[in-house]
Amino acid sequence: NAGVMQNPRHLVRRRGQEARLRCSPMKGHSHVYWYRQLPEEGLKFMVYLQKENIIDESGMPKERFSAEFPKEGPSILRIQQVVRGDSAAYFCASSPEQGSPTDTQYFGPGTRLTVL
Amino acid sequence: AQKITQTQPGMFVQEKEAVTLDCTYDTSDPSYGLFWYKQPSSGEMIFLIYQGSYDQQNATEGRYSLNFQKARKSANLVISASQLGDSAMYFCAMREAVASSNTGKLIFGQGTTLQVKP
């Protein structure tokens, strides 16, 4: 029973390149959340998706960042034209249902993005 | 606005002793959940324990227990019989009930680094 999968675990990009981060939720989970953790800080919410729908992107930077969760395949967090300030750990979490505060979100191992 | 505060940047505890990690929160929603996660040096986020705002009893999971004081809006994590493997960063998080303006995202505190001494 696989947990939340994220790949790659480590990603190095030069300034101006694109970064693509992938997340496969736990089996049976249809709700995906992306969080960002800057060095020495807690996690900050970025975006919440269900299959084929972005539900809440209030934590996403207005430019260069986008996310999707297609009907088939993993959720993708895409960062265009990366800058050094994008260096962080990006975590994906999944939960089976949205409706209750009791629903635990289970996290993937994270993708550590380093921008040179 | 919802907020989570962890006032202890770092804590030390002797192996086999108990330790309490503090967490206070602020919300106007009567229905919410409180979570603790552990982040070891390897970086993953491990779910430890959950407390619901309407739960009458404090949550327990093995060596972890949550000291929930609703009137004081605190949800402290107690780790009993500390082990060397407990050395990690610990995050308190809150999730409000889903409503039209809230989609169940987690709000995290800044974290507490716990070091267990042999």
SS3 letters for A25-57?
CCCCCCEEEEEEECCCCCEEEEEEEECCEEEEC
Separation CA B26–CA B63 (nearest Å):
27
Most distant CA pair in chain A: distance in Å?
41
Mean of pLDDT over chain B: 92
Cβ neighbours for B1, distance < 8 A, ≥ 6 positions apart: B26
Q: Which of B102, B106, B108, B113 to mutate to test the interface with A (most CBs of A within 10 A)?
A: B106
Each residue's pLDDT tens digit, B56-91: 899 999 999 999 999 999 999 999 999 999 999 999
From the list A62, A56, A6, A7, the residue with the least C-alpha distance to A31 is A56
B47–A89: do the CB atoms touch at under 8 Å? no
Mean pLDDT of chain A: 91
Residue B71: its pLDDT value, please? 93
pLDDT digits (tens, 9 = 90+) for A1-37: 578 999 999 999 999 999 999 999 998 888 899 999 9
Nearest residue of A to residue B52 by CA position? Answer: A102
Test B103 with A35 for CB contact under 8 angstroms: no
Q: Which of B96, B103, B111 sits opposite A42 (nearest CB)?
A: B111
* A102 pLDDT tier (thresholds 50, 70, 90): low
Which pLDDT score is estimated for B2? 80
Contact across the interface for B43 and A35, Cβ inside 8 Å:
no
In degrees, rounded to 5, the angle at the alpha carbon of residue B79 between the alpha carbons of residues B17 and B1 is: 140
